[in-house]
A and B are shown apart, each in its own frame.
Chain A
Amino acid sequence: MPNPIQNVETRLRVPSTATKGEIIEIKTLISHPMYSGFTKDSAGKTIPRDIINTFAVTYNGRPVFKMTLQPAISANPFIAFSVVADQTGTFDFTWTDDNGAAYKDQAQITVS
């Protein structure tokens, strides 16, 4: 895998508890320059495209959200969406970049 961005930070805001059937809001943030391929470095050379192109979320293994990102998405992508909290378990978040590198994070929720 050529040059994945190292030491990427991810942040998640997922409620730790919810009542069954409650619609919860999930917010996510990941540090990534999202080089669009249209910017130049200080030497004037075009920086090749290097972006996170996919964001996928599963809830106890079941896919619940997917976003395809284009170069028009700002650096340090902020993505927020809703999910119906119907079972206790784990949300798995995967961000995949143009090099095929996958950045992952996880959050637990207790649903009663």
Chain B
Amino acid sequence: MKLAIGFAVTALLVVGLIAVARSDEGSNLAKHTVGNEKSGYVYASPDTRAMQDDDFSNPGFLWIERGKTLWNTPYGAAGKSCATCHGAAATSMKGVGAKYPVFDAAQGKVIDIEQRINLERTTRMGAAPFPWESRDLLAMTAYVKLQSRGMPVAVTTSGPAKVFWLEGKRFYDTRRGQLDMSCEQCHVQNNNNKLRSNTLSQGQINGFPTYRLKWQSLGSVQRRFRGCNKKVRAEPLPYGSQEYVDLELYVASLGQGLPVETPAVRQ
């Protein structure tokens, strides 16, 4: 009789513990989900998520360290650093990354964070722009976006940004490449389905710049776009192409409300 009670109690405990563990995992994943929008975090393996969740284990923070140094480094004839005008990034850049890409009136087009950083360097600091996908540009972009980590993606798609958003949507929905496939086909029609042994995600970009295990490096959203284009055997566009910036705005809007996760860790 005692044995039976013992078993029953143990069984209940085990079920209870599993339920707690599942609900812990469930509530963790819920933080990366908004309605039907699911961050890439939700599709990653537990080991990969663990790497992202610990700021020390997260290799992206090597670039954050560099970004912090660069923020305080003087450049250009006037010898200004970002900090000279913007002070502490944690204050001045809070929420900024979550809004990008934005329409810039002076430029007359939508620009992304990388372009903003380089504009500041060239027009205000008299410094040379960082090359696309360089370690320094990645570091600065990630550092700026980190200041919005945890905040909801909040891009503007109306007003002067709308025509660029529509261009981005057009790119997203257009078939391209020898495989003649569009972003929409995999990431909207077929997300959650398998592509070989991979589960297709929604292709959200709330974690960029991201440390991809495959790249063994932090990389930008445009690097990812170029990779996706190459995989459908389409000619990738050069970094900084307006098409990619417009696409970035559109894809960001698909993840409106998802938490900024920069620097995310993904496969």
Contact = CB atoms under 8 A, between A and B. Distances in A.
Contact of B216 (A7, A9, A75): A75
Given A74-B216, A75-B216, A9 B62 contact: yes
Nearest to A27: B56
Contacts of A75: 216-217
B25 interface: no
Most buried by A among B59, B61, B63, B66: B59
A112 interface: no
A78 interface: yes
Contacts, number: 34
B57 interface: yes
B65 interface: yes
Chain B contact-residue range equals 10 to 19
Interface residues of A, number: 14
B65 A9 contact: yes
B57 A11 contact: no
A9 B57 contact: no
B90 to A, nearest CB: 19
Nearest to B66: A9
Contact of B62 (A27, A29, A74): A29
Interface in B102-140: 135
Interface string B38-75: 00000000000000000011010111011000000000
Given A9-B65, A76-B62, 5 more contacts: A7-B66, A7-B135, A27-B57, A33-B216, A76-B217
14 contacts: A9-B62, A11-B56, A11-B61, A11-B65, A27-B56, A27-B57, A29-B61, A29-B62, A31-B66, A33-B216, A75-B217, A76-B59, A76-B62, A78-B59
